[in-house]
C-alpha cells in the first residue's frame, strides 16, 4: 500500500493553531509526518496544541497576525532557524457579526487584516525562492460564506471572497516557474468555538435551520483538515487556484432560505 | 462482448486484456458492457452486486469527445454523446444507489472536464455533456445525501496525457499544442495518475464532507 498523502520531511507554517480548525490541522499534518511551525496568539492554548501532535521537529511562535507589518521579519527568522518551507496553511480568522450600518472602516480593516492581509503577506514572503522549496503548496481557509452570505456578514464574507480571488492571482503568477500551488478550502459549518459563538449570537433555531441544509450534517474539524492535507500533498499536484468546498452539500442544495 | 455501438477504444479486445492485468490485492473483474445501451445497465449492476456483494462506489471514466462545428451537429450525434457521457452515468447511479446495492458512505465520482466551464469552437456537444454531469451531480448529491449518505462529485481535468491528447498533438503539431496548452495550463499536461489520485481522494473518507462539487484538476487552465 502507498500513502499518497504522506508529508514526511515537509515543513509548513500553520496560523490560528491554538483552537478549532487550526489545532486539528496541526495534529493531522503531524500524523502525516510533517514538521509544523504553529502560530497563534494564546500561549497556553498553543502549548496544548503541541501536546496533542505526533512527535516531529515542530516549533511555535506567539504572534498577533493583525500586526501585518511584522510578518516579514517573523517569517525570515523562522526560515533562518528551520530552513526552507514547503508551504503554509492560514486558519486564523475572525467571524464577528456586524450590520452594514455599523461596519465602519476600522471594523472592516480589523477583519481584513487577520482574515486576508496576513495571509497575503505571509504567502508573499514565504513564496520567495530563499524561503520555500519548489512545488510548495499554500492553503487558505476561506468559507462557504464567500458564496452563501447572511445578514451581518459583510466583513466576514468580503474577507473570504478576497481569499478566493487572491489564490487565483497568486497561482497564475507563481505557478509556471516553480510549480507552487495556491488554493482555498471553503467549509460550511464546522463544530468549533466559532460555531458555538454564532449559535449563541443568532439562536439555536437559526442554527438548526442552517444545519438542516447541510445534507451530510455538521462538519467535524478533522474532515476539513484531511482536505487541507490533500491540497498540501502531491496527491493534488495539478490542482491550483481552486476553491474547494468542504461544506456537506450546503451550497449545492437549493433548499436554502 | 463488445458490440458495434461501443466507443472505439473499448471495442478493441486487447484493451480488455490490458485492464484484466491490473488484478490488485482486492481483486479486479471486468464486465464488458456497451454503455450506450442504457437498458442493459440495470442488469449489469445486478450481476456485479450478485457476484461481489454490495459496492462502495463508482467512477465513471467512460466518455467520448468530438470536434464538430455547430452547423454539422445533428440530434443523433448529440444523443450519442449524451448517452455515453451522461445518461449511462445517471442510470448507473440510479441502480447503484439502491439500498440493496451499496454500503453506507458510498462515494460516486464522474469524470467531467474543464470544458464544462470554458467553451471552445466546435465543442458544443462535448461541453454540454460535461456541464450536464456537473449539474446532475449537484442534484443527485442533494437527493442521495441526507438519508443514504451517498456522496456524488465530479473531477474536471484539463489536458491529460492520454490518447485524446496525443491525437490532438498529432493533428496540430507539438509546437502549436505547447503554445495553446502549456501557456494556460501552466503546471503542465497532467499524467493520468494525477487525476486518479484526486478520484481516490474523493472516494476515500478523507473527503467525507465534500459532495455535489466539481473539483477542477487543470493545472491552472481555467483560473485566468
**Domains delineated in chain A:** 11-189+222-248 (3.40.50.720)
> Is residue B179 pLDDT above 50, yes or no?
yes
pLDDT digits (tens, 9 = 90+) for B68-85: 999 999 999 999 999 999
Q: How confident is the model at residue A212 (pLDDT cuts 50, 70, 90)?
A: confident
Question: Beta strand A35-40 with A243-246: parallel, antiparallel or unpaired?
Answer: unpaired
Secondary structure class of B151 (helix, strand, coil): strand
Q: How many CB atoms lie within 10 A of CB B4?
A: 7
Nearest to B217 by CA among B159, B156, B165, B133: B156
Least confident of B101-105, B178-182, B185-189, B213-217: B178-182
Average pLDDT for residues A118-137, to the nearest whole number?
98
Cell of B185: 495550463
**Cβ-Cβ contacts under 8 Å for A68 (sequence gap 6 or more):** A113, A117, A118, A121
Q: What is the pLDDT of residue B212?
A: 97
Which residues of chain A neighbour B211 with C-beta distances below 8 Å?
A: 215-216, 248-249, 252
Which residues of chain A neighbour B146 with C-beta distances below 8 Å?
A: 215-216
Separation CA A30–CA A242 (nearest Å): 25
**DSSP output for A101-161:** GG--HHHHHHHHIIIIIHHHHHHHHHTSTTTEEEEEEEEEE--GGGTS--TTBHHHHHHHH
Query: How far lies B81's CA from each of A234, B67, B118, B214, in Å?
Result: 33, 12, 18, 20
Task: Classify residue A3 as exposed, middle or buried by CB count within 10 Å of its CB (0-12, 13-18, 19+).
Answer: exposed
Residue B22 contacts A where some CB pair is shorter than 8 Å = no
Average pLDDT for residues A169-187, to the nearest whole number?
96
Residue B209 contacts A where some CB pair is shorter than 8 Å = yes
ipTM: 0.92
| H helix count then E strand count, chain A | 9, 7
> Is residue B20 pLDDT above 70, yes or no?
no
Residue B146 contacts A where some CB pair is shorter than 8 Å = yes
Residue B196: closest CA among chain A residues belongs to which residue? A235
pLDDT digits (tens, 9 = 90+) for A34-84: 999 999 999 999 999 999 999 999 999 999 999 999 999 999 999 999 999
Query: How far lies A223's CA from each of B109, B151, B178, B206, in Å?
Result: 18, 14, 38, 6
Residue B203 contacts A where some CB pair is shorter than 8 Å = no
Angle at A29 between CA A252 and CA B209, to 5 degrees: 20
> Is residue A250 pLDDT above 70, yes or no?
yes
Strand partners, A40: A62
Separation CA B150–CA A79 (nearest Å): 44
Query: Catalytic residue numbers of B?
Result: 126
Q: What is the pLDDT of residue B4?
A: 36
Q: What is the pLDDT of residue B68?
A: 92
Separation CA A103–CA A108 (nearest Å): 6
Separation CA A78–CA B79 (nearest Å): 59
pTM of the predicted protein model: 0.92
Which of A216, A218, A236, A243 has the most B C-beta neighbours within 10 Å, making it the best mutation to test the interface with B? A216
Q: What is the pLDDT of residue B3?
A: 34
Residues 128-187 in A contacting B (C-alpha not used; CB under 8 Å): 168, 171-172, 175-176, 179, 181, 187
Amino acid at each position: 500500500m502507498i500513502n499518497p498523502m504522506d508529508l514526511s520531511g515537509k515543513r509548513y507554517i500553520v496560523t490560528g493553531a491554538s483552537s478549532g480548525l487550526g489545532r486539528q490541522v496541526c495534529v493531522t499534518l503531524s500524523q502525516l509526518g510533517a514538521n509544523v511551525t504553529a502560530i497563534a496568539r494564546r500561549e497556553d492554548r498553543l502549548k496544548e496544541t503541541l501536546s496533542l501532535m505526533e512527535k516531529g521537529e515542530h516549533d511555535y511562535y506567539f504572534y498577533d497576525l493583525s500586526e501585518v507589518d511584522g510578518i516579514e521579519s517573523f517569517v525570515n527568522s523562522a526560515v533562518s532557524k528551520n530552513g526552507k518551507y514547503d508551504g503554509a496553511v492560514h486558519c486564523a480568522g475572525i467571524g464577528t457579526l456586524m450590520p452594514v450600518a455599523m461596519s465602519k472602516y476600522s471594523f472592516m480593516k480589523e477583519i481584513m487584516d487577520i482574515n486576508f492581509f496576513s495571509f497575503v503577506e505571509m504567502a508573499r514572503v514565504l513564496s520567495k525562492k530563499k524561503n520555500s522549496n519548489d512545488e510548495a503548496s499554500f492553503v487558505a481557509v476561506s468559507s462557504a460564506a464567500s458564496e452563501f452570505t447572511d445578514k451581518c456578514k459583510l466583513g466576514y464574507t468580503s474577507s473570504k471572497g478576497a481569499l478566493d480571488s487572491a489564490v487565483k492571482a497568486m497561482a497564475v503568477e507563481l505557478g509556471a516557474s516553480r510549480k507552487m500551488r495556491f488554493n482555498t478550502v471553503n467549509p460550511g459549518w464546522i463544530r468549533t468555538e466559532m460555531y458555538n459563538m454564532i449559535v449563541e449570537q443568532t439562536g439555536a433555531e437559526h442554527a438548526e435551520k442552517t444545519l438542516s441544509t447541510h445534507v451530510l450534517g455538521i462538519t467535524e474539524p478533522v474532515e476539513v483538515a484531511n482536505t487541507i492535507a490533500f491540497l498540501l500533498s502531491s496527491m493534488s499536484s495539478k490542482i491550483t487556484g481552486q476553491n474547494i468546498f468542504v461544506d456537506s452539500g450546503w451550497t449545492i442544495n437549493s433548499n436554502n432560505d | 462482448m463488445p458490440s458495434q455501438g461501443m466507443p472505439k477504444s473499448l471495442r478493441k479486445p486487447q484493451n480488455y486484456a490490458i485492464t484484466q492485468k491490473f488484478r490488485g490485492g482486492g481483486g479486479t473483474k471486468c464486465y464488458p458492457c456497451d454503455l450506450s445501451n442504457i437498458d442493459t445497465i440495470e442488469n449489469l449492476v445486478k450481476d456485479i452486486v450478485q457476484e461481489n456483494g454490495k459496492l462502495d462506489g463508482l467512477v465513471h471514466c467512460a466518455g467520448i469527445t468530438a470536434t464538430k462545428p455547430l452547423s454539422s451537429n445533428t440530434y443523433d450525434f448529440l444523443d450519442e454523446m449524451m448517452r455515453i457521457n451522461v445518461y449511462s452515468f445517471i442510470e448507473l447511479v440510479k441502480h447503484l444507489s439502491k439500498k440493496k446495492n451499496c454500503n453506507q458512505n458510498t462515494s460516486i465520482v464522474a469524470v467531467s472536464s474543464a470544458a464544462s466551464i470554458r467553451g471552445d469552437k466546435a465543442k458544443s456537444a462535448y461541453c454540454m455533456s460535461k456541464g450536464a454531469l456537473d449539474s446532475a451531480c449537484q442534484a443527485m448529491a442533494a437527493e442521495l445525501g441526507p438519508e443514504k449518505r451517498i456522496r456524488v462529485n465530479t473531477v474536471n481535468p484539463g489536458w491529460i496525457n492520454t490518447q485524446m491528447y496525443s491525437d490532438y498533438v498529432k493533428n496540430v503539431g507539438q509546437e502549436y499544442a505547447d503554445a495553446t496548452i502549456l501557456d494556460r495550463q501552466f503546471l503542465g499536461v497532467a499524467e493520468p495518475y494525477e487525476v486518479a489520485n484526486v478520484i481516490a481522494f474523493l472516494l476515500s473518507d478523507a473527503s467525507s464532507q465534500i459532495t455535489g462539487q466539481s473539483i477542477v484538476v487543470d493545472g491552472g487552465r481555467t483560473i485566468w
